[in-house]
Structure 1
C-alpha cells in the first residue's frame, strides 16, 4: 500500500498535513500505529515507512536533480502479506480512513501494488 504526497487523485479531506494541527497529526499517526499493531497480531504486517517530501533524482554518474513539484511523490508505504487481493482491498480502505484535518477521515487514494513476482 503506497501513500502519495502528490500524484494520486485528491483525497476527500484534501488538506496538506503541513496545515494540520499537532493534535491532528498525532491522531493520524496513532491511527496508523494501531492499524500496524493489529496487522502484527494477525501476522499480516511486514514493514512500513514514512518518507520526507524532500527528494532528489540521482543517476549512475552521481549527478543529482530535484524532483519537480509536478511529479508524483511517494509519502510512504506499508508492506503487508495477505491471503488475497480482497483482503488487501479491505485493509487499504481501512488505512485510507485515517483521521486528517478536523478529525475527519482523510479518504485518500492508496496505491496497491504486489511485489514483483508475487502471484497471490
Structure 2
C-alpha cells in the first residue's frame, strides 16, 4: 500500500489561522485531542496507521556553518509559519484515499468547538518506483 505523511502546520499562508490553538480553552484542547485519538483508533482498526506525533512549537532551522564554525540558525526560533504542529503517517490504497483521510483530519474541532478546516500537507513517501535506476 502507498504510504503518505500528513503535516499539520502551526499556520499556513501569511496570516495566522483564525482558530489559533493559543486561544483554545482546556476543554477545546481536550475535544481536539479526542478527535485525533478517535481517528487514530479508526486507522489502527483498518490496519492503516503508521504513526503520529504532536510537536512542540519550539523549533530552530539549523545548517552547516563551514569548517570550524558553529552551526547557522534561523534566529532563536524559526518563523511560526514554517513550523509543523504534528504529523501522521498512513498506509492507504490510493492517493484519493489519502486526500479523503487528510480532509477529515482537517475538520478536527478547534476554537469554539468549530471545525478547523485547516490545510493539511499530504506527502507520499518515496518509493522504489520514484527513484531512478542507477544500475
- TM-score, L = length of structure 2: 0.77
Match 1:7 to one of 3, 12, 16: 12
* TM-score, scaled to structure 1: 0.86
Q: Structure 2 regions of 5+ residues with no counterpart?
A: 1-5, 130-135
Moved over 3 A (4+): 7-11
Which residue of structure 2 lines up, in the alignment, with residue 113 of structure 1?
123
> Per the alignment, do residues 8 and 50 of structure 1 end up closer, same or farther by CA in structure 2, a change over 3 Å counting?
farther
Q: Which runs of 5+ in 1 are unaligned?
A: none
- 1:59-78 to 2 correspondences below 5 Å: 59-60=63-64, 63-65=71-73, 66=75, 67-69=77-79, 71-78=81-88
Residues 70-89 of structure 1 correspond to what in structure 2 (within 5 A)?
71-89=81-99
Residue 49 (1) aligns with residue 57 (2)? no
Residue from 100, 105, 109 that aligns with 2:110: 100
The two structures, once aligned, show a CA RMSD in angstroms of 2.4
After TM superposition, give the deviation of residue 8 of structure 1 in Å: 4.7
Query: For 1:14 and 1:89, how far apart are their aligned partners in 2?
Result: 23
